[in-house]
Amino acid sequence: MHVYIKVDQHLTILQTSSAFLPKLSDTVKCDPKKMATQGTTGANNATTRPPPNPSPLRTAKFFQANMRILVTGGAGFIGSHLVDRLMENEKNEVVVVDNYFTGSKDNLKQWIGHPRFELIRHDVTEPLLIEVDQIYHLACPASPIFYKHNPVKTIKTNVIGTLNMLGLAKRVGARILLTSTSEVYGDPLVHPQDESYWGNVNPIGVRSCYDEGKRVAETLMFDYHRQHGIEIRIARIFNTYGPRMNIDDGRVVSNFIAQAIRNEPLTVQSPGTQTRSFCYVSDMVDGLVRLMEGNNTGPINIGNPGEFTMLELAENVKELINPEVKIIHVENTPDDPRQRKPVITKAKELLGWEPTVKLVDGLPRMEEDFRKRLGIPKNA
């Protein structure tokens, strides 16, 4: 075999041995059937390697340290309620990272200074070096007002932020849970939605930074799971409401309650027949903890299958909070899903979870919180 090399305008012929060339037997042989098995999802998901080992303190013979749990976006609405739940266990040390784009320190004020609690101002789009055992990855603006305000930042949070958290999980051997969203189903052509539905999402719409960002985040989770053996959990959370929601965040429940308290008309986006399913925040947190502590990777729908039209929700808020307010129609936003209702069969069977708080019971609790923050007492 000869190799031709051009040197100083002359063609030099070098005799080479076949030893310098790779042999076919040295190349990696891929078994398509094996690769297909590794590419499956759900509880039977095979990984290419075992998960990384956690800290030796987890298996120490004489002394076991507290479980160190990281909550990204822990100063936000759902995140702060999750922190409350985790702090109830005296064996947990909770570390919260948040950049306060939509979160607030006020949501965590009862824990600041507690010896088992730590709060770090940090943006997940930057790497984080820390030792933890579990990661609840909630960081991302979830309200259209906020994620449309800075769509590039939103998709960076979903993609780069998730990459950084997966890299951390890989380094320290932590289990990681991603709060994905029902928005991965887009404007669904299947109703109600179960986890096998792939969705109907506009990839270039004004909501795509959030919808497609979460879809990519789910992809990254499973790729790290298959390639590096990371222990993952994925929750597809549906509409959630409760105390500590941002009062003017643009989501329908907070909008209606704030408007009713302020004696303003309830603005229903046309046509008003679009549906949502509303899960109270304590039920949502319970589902997330059960998923993290269970053995199933997901994705699993966490939401309340009770379905309401926007007009029905407005009528409920009017009846419970302020019967005097009017209900008016306003123009709808682009790419607004027409229907949203979870199938929670997996959550029931695999997690033993289902919501317990009804909408008529949850709305007054949220009203009380909003009145306190707005400084508007309820009329006797």
Max intra-chain CA distance, the chain: 101
What are the backbone angles phi and psi of residue 118, rounded to the nearest 5°? Answer: -140, 135
Other CB atoms within a 10 A radius of the CB of residue 314 amount to 25
Tokens coding 2: 């000869």
Which candidate, 257, 292, 279, places its Cα nearest to that of 369? 257
Q: Which residues, 6+ apart, have CB-to-CB distance to 380 below 8 Å?
A: none
Do the beta carbons of residue 202 and residue 186 sit within 8 Å? yes
Catalytic-labelled residue, pool 136, 147, 185, 210: 210
Please write down the HEC assignment for all residues of 28-93: CCCCHHHHHHHCCCCCCCCCCCCCCCCCHHHHCCCCCCCEEEEEECCCCHHHHHHHHHHHCCCCEE
Which candidate, 352, 224, 218, places its Cα nearest to that of 298? 218
> Whose structure tokens read 């997966």?
166
Question: Is 210 annotated in the active site?
Answer: yes
Active site residues: 210
